[in-house]
Structure 1
Amino acid sequence: MGKNPKKVVLAYSGGLDTSVILRWLQERYGCEVVTFTADLGQGEELGPARAKAEAMGVREIFVEDLREKFVKDFVFPMFRANALYEGQYLLGTSIARPLISQRQIEIAEAVGADAVAHGATGKGNDQVRFELAYYALKPDIRVIAPWREWELTSRTKLLEFAERHQIPITRDKRGEAPFSVDANLLHSSSEGKILEDPAHGPDEIVFQRTLSPEAAPDVATEITIDFRHGDPVAINGEALSPAALLTKLNALGRANGIGRLDMVENRFVGMKSRGIYETPGGTILLAAHRAIETITLDREAAHLKDSIMPRYAEVIYNGLWFSPERHMMQALIDASQHSVNGRVRLKLYKGNVICIGRESPDSLYDSRVVTFEEDGGAYDHKDAQGFIRLNALRLRLGAMKGRRGGAL
């Protein structure tokens, strides 16, 4: 692909794979490597990543806390749509990739790098998500994907390379990891190895962010969540920043065994894969947001929004956050949220999120119209007769022609 790059910005975790990639880039291309490590709330200390990069001769090291931006500008906009991929997945990994990619490109431009690199494998979705974002933001950027180029095709070869180049290997990395984990403030994802057979349920050791529902308290936890323009702004009346609010919901979800999902999904690259997801705070947030929308959204607006949700979720899953279609759908979704204001009361109990109340100054719910008691003339029952006859007209005409029961 032409001459070697001069400077590469690497998405760097400090783990075995990206540390090997760092040295491989230096050796294979003879280029300067800049490392970028993002704190998205994965729950790991990032100091060691900086220290390891320094030990490997990296001069420009970026370690950044992006938790607030992650939740405010990526997670919350997605939750305004009530997005679920294939009806279940809350897109915890998918929504993190555009932010990492965006910041990686910004750093590349700031330091004068002519290439970026990632550690995603050639079988997964993440390679697509990273690279579609790179090209959308900087069309002429060179992308290096070592897993599609090198000959280090096994864990043994990775370890041998690391030992040969004196890359520190933690004790737990020398043994065969039972499954792989990706985590951020929204969720934790576990897959591979012992989890590859979908016929067998996951052992309890897989779950890191939630108690089992059986071990959760026998007494329900009741909370309130306040919304403003579709975004949560307070829990139990306490105003919180986006990241602090999601952190609080995660703690509440964890304690009550909420947010576990065992799913076989269709990857964008064509294969089916099995993943174990834990999204405690997100599961609570989705239930609360849908509850406040039930009293604040017009029927047709709500139905239109629901009709585009699967497409919106698929676009995010496939790595097209920066695409024209996502921006168009986001504009529609955001326009629907101006009146999504108010408070939802929830009961959290042994894996369940139960709405027990909702109220809003912008509520469209009118007790005078819906009541079974005397409504004071708010609704004229006689109006229903013409409404029904008009809607029945095509059915009656079809039946007259012998096309009964919806037959064409």
Structure 2
Amino acid sequence: MRTENQIRSLSDLEYVAQRSNRVLTLFSGGVDSSYVLSVLSKHRSCETIAVTVDLGDGIDKADLNTIASHFGVQSIICDGRERFAREAVLPALRCNAKYMSLYPISASLSRPIICSIAMEQAEKFGCEVIVHTANQSQNSLRRLNGALDQLNFDGFFGSPYEYSALTREEKIDALRRCGLSKFQARGTSGDANLWCREFESGSLDNPESFLVPGHLFTWTAKRPGASYADTISIEFHQGTPVAINGDGLSLVELIARLNEHVGAFGVGRYAGLEHLDQGEKVLEVREAPAAHLLMDAYRHLEMATLDTELLREKLALEQVWVREAVEGRWFAGLRGAIDQFMNHVATAVTGLVQYKLREGAADVCSIRASKPRYLTNRDAWEKQVARVRGARSLLALHDADARRESSIGISALVNGSGELANME
């Protein structure tokens, strides 16, 4: 990765701002990205564009505009939901993309899409710099930097928090002095999109003893008075989910409905460790009801429609795909090559999977493939196989017997060839 044009500290950010006409910064409205706006706002000769990419977990436009306008910055919100669903979520679904087979990957999928959109906006507005706010304890650092590098962004890019480590409280105090007093200390940090909501840090820092605050969960939280059917079916066409309970939906709509419906039963909560760039491990907690059910349903339909040896090879390639995404090599080539294989395989995955939902679980109760490899009546199959294979065995036995008799006759002729010659 190129390092000569990377922003890695607040000093780097100051240096770049003094020498640039226009800077694009990724803006979530949180403490980290708001603090970056406060730093950039000091450089009046450098225009700042604050770009927010909506990936499906709600964007508070009024809040974003309030913070951006406070610093005299233009706020731009880009709707990336459909693109995220098609270019990242669907390939992840077809790869059953779980980190170490434990939980659905999420930020590994969203960061490349965010970078692609950021580069488009940077080109549109003539921005020479792209700033993000990941730090060394966040894997997003290498994913965002990796994507921008692989996409050949030719300006400065990176995060000032890579080498400048400020506490949340220090940033909040600085923003308060700038006239923004809305920010409060909190115990965890989070990231969300239409596929997954994940949390880390604070009360989740120590894997040996942690308690997940109930208020963190949205999709899987209990909803008094709400009523949802306890059966649900998902229909796939050539590897793409297209309907729930017979209702045709776009991919974004389908995921959103599953998050609400399946989440109401408390299905789709995960906790597990993930490695940092140098091998250290950190705890992450997440909820992903739609991802949970869709990946399970897809696997069942694969089992129903694909050859077993093909499936075995696919399983090995799935974790290679996940590794490339997790390590920030989304645009490096290998992941894309595996995608071609996965897309080819997906053309056979058509059918429906039905579940019975109960508290904390989804039990599969029906698998129906359009071109199945499974048996629906084992006894009838046994009889049919016995007739066919039995007839083949009898024919083979007759053939073998005929060959044996023929062989004996030829042998007799050969053995008596001298005697026959004398008779002539």
Match of 2:50 in 1: 35
Distance 2:273 2:83 in 1: 30
Give the alignment partner of residue 84 of structure 1, picking from 91, 98, 119: 98
Match of 1:405 in 2: none
Q: Secondary structure at the residue paired with 1:22?
A: helix
Match of 1:169 in 2: 181
Distance 1:370 1:90 in 2: 39
Q: Secondary structure at the residue paired with 2:28?
A: coil
Give the alignment partner of residue 126 of structure 2, picking from 83, 90, 112: 112
Counterparts in 2 of 1:46-65, with a 5 A limit? 46-59=61-74, 61-65=75-79
Amino acid at match of 1:43: G
Match of 2:374 in 1: 365
Q: TM-score, normalised by structure 2?
A: 0.82
Give the alignment partner of residue 114 of structure 2, picking from 97, 100, 104: 100
Match of 2:136 in 1: 122
Query: How many Å apart are 1:236 and its aligned residue?
Result: 0.3
Match of 1:401 in 2: none
The verdict on how the C-alpha distance between 1:370 and 1:383 changes in structure 2, with shifts beyond 3 A counting, is farther
Give per-residue Cα distances to partners, 1:285-312, cap 9 Å, x unaligned: 1111111111111112111111111111
Distance 1:65 1:132 in 2: 22
Give per-residue Cα distances to partners, 1:96-143, cap 9 Å, x unaligned: 111111100111111111110001112221111111111111242311
Counterparts in 2 of 1:215-364, with a 5 A limit? 221-364=230-373
The verdict on how the C-alpha distance between 1:164 and 1:212 changes in structure 2, with shifts beyond 3 A counting, is closer
Residue 158 in 1 paired to residue 171 in 2?
yes
Q: Secondary structure at the residue paired with 1:106?
A: helix
Give per-residue Cα distances to partners, 1:239-297, cap 9 Å, x unaligned: 00111100010012211110111112223342100111111111011111111111111
The two structures, once aligned, show a CA RMSD in angstroms of 2.7
Does the Cα contact within 8 Å between 2:231 and 2:355 map onto a contact in 1? yes
The verdict on how the C-alpha distance between 1:260 and 1:31 changes in structure 2, with shifts beyond 3 A counting, is same
Q: Secondary structure at the residue paired with 1:263?
A: strand
Does the Cα contact within 8 Å between 1:210 and 1:258 map onto a contact in 2? no
Q: Secondary structure at the residue paired with 2:322?
A: helix
Residue 199 in 1 paired to residue 208 in 2?
yes
The verdict on how the C-alpha distance between 1:379 and 1:21 changes in structure 2, with shifts beyond 3 A counting, is farther
Distance 1:11 1:280 in 2: 28
Amino acid at match of 2:181: I
Q: Secondary structure at the residue paired with 2:346?
A: coil
Does the Cα contact within 8 Å between 1:70 and 1:99 map onto a contact in 2? yes
Distance 1:30 1:149 in 2: 25
**Runs of at least 5 residues in structure 1 that lack an aligned partner in the other structure:** 385-408
What's the % identity of the aligned pairs? Answer: 27
Amino acid at match of 1:75: V
Distance 1:70 1:329 in 2: 18
Distance 2:64 2:392 in 1: 69
Query: How many Å apart are 1:196 and its aligned residue?
Result: 1.2
Distance 2:253 2:86 in 1: 11
Does the Cα contact within 8 Å between 2:57 and 2:194 map onto a contact in 1? yes
Does the Cα contact within 8 Å between 1:105 and 1:138 map onto a contact in 2? no
Match of 2:414 in 1: none
Q: TM-score, normalised by structure 1?
A: 0.85
Distance 2:349 2:157 in 1: 41
Number of matched residues?
378
Distance 2:58 2:78 in 1: 14
Q: Secondary structure at the residue paired with 1:95?
A: helix
Amino acid at match of 2:241: P
Query: How many Å apart are 1:206 and its aligned residue?
Result: 5.0
Match of 1:140 in 2: 154
Amino acid at match of 1:101: C
Distance 2:73 2:213 in 1: 39
Q: Secondary structure at the residue paired with 1:41?
A: coil
Amino acid at match of 2:57: Q
Q: Identify which range, 251-260 or 358-367, moves more after superposition.
A: 358-367
Does the Cα contact within 8 Å between 2:220 and 2:269 map onto a contact in 1? no
